Amino acid sequence: MSTSSFVAYSELTRVLPWSIRARGYAFGTADRASFLVANAASMAPEVLGDIAALGERPSGGLQRQWSEGVLSVEASGVSWLEAGPAVMDYCGAHAKEHGVVACRVTGASEVSLLPAVLLTGADYGLSAVAVRGEGRVMRWTLLGWSAEQEARPVLLCGEGREDLDRWLAGAVKPGELPEAFDGTHILAWRAPRLTIPAGETGATDAQACIDMAFSKGIPVTREVLEGLYELEKITWAPTSERSRAQAGFQSRPGGQ
């Protein structure tokens, strides 16, 4: 990744709510998503390029259906920055009652946010796995915990069923993870906690990455950063809701 500068974590969480809002996402969604994106960029800075190129939010929204113990969400092009937190909130609310909670998400954009989506499950004390198919390849992301007494959330990405089954042994029963994948399947649970050793190849200490982002900033190309600011300007424009509200304009008959 060619970089020309670093952007502060706090600057991202300042600009991103307005940048995301400019693409039609509700302000509450955009505000929460700003932290999701900043966390994602702390671990994988190239994510910011996906957000700078974020498309307009589809008008249809999320369609939810609960059947046979699985929450199915049809996103129809809505970004993971909206679909992801909603799914993980559901998992956090039901994990104690149902043991392993199962969700299936289809049609969500910005799949690069998926590791950060799983990371939000750490706020609920969850372990989790997200599995999706890319052609004939099964790709997966695990949310687990370090082995220290004060455990920290750890993310691990990989591919292939054999390695995944090894990690999930004892936590997920045979059959809870489907053999074929349409969209992304997420399983989440509270116990037993999934332990990922700190030295595991490919493991990411999520909190360490976020701490580093707070301390050193996040590398970003000038083009990507300018793209985020251009989106923010849409919400700042003289006719925008933000600018009019800050200028004290109110809608009234016959005028502003």
For residue range 197-237, list pLDDT tens digits in order: 878 999 999 999 999 999 999 999 999 999 999 999 998 76
Confidence of residue 247 (pLDDT cuts 50, 70, 90): very low
Q: pLDDT tens digits, residue range 15-67?
A: 999 999 999 999 999 999 999 999 999 999 999 999 999 999 999 889 999 98
Residue 254: pLDDT above 50? no
Q: Which of 65-74, 80-89, 122-131 has the lowest mean pLDDT?
A: 65-74
pLDDT at position 256 is 37
E strands, the chain, in order: 5-7, 63-67, 70-74, 101-106, 127-134, 137-145, 153-159, 184-189, 203-205, 218-220
Confidence of residue 136 (pLDDT cuts 50, 70, 90): confident
Residues 73, 57: Cα–Cα separation, whole Å: 16
- What secondary structure letter does DSSP report for 78? -
pLDDT at position 204 is 96
The residue ranking higher by pLDDT, 188 or 173, is 188
Length, in residues, of the chain? 256
Tell me: cis bond preceding 192? Omega within 30 of 0 counts. yes
Q: pLDDT tens digits, residue range 90-126?
A: 999 999 877 899 999 999 999 999 999 999 999 999 9
Q: For the chain, which domains are there?
A: 1-57+217-250 (1.10.1530), 62-205 (3.30.1370.60)
- What secondary structure letter does DSSP report for 198? T
The residue ranking higher by pLDDT, 19 or 178, is 19
pLDDT at position 132 is 93
Confidence of residue 242 (pLDDT cuts 50, 70, 90): low
Residue 170: pLDDT above 70? yes
Average pLDDT over residues 133-138: 81
**Max avg pLDDT among 126-130, 162-166, 170-174, 189-193:** 126-130
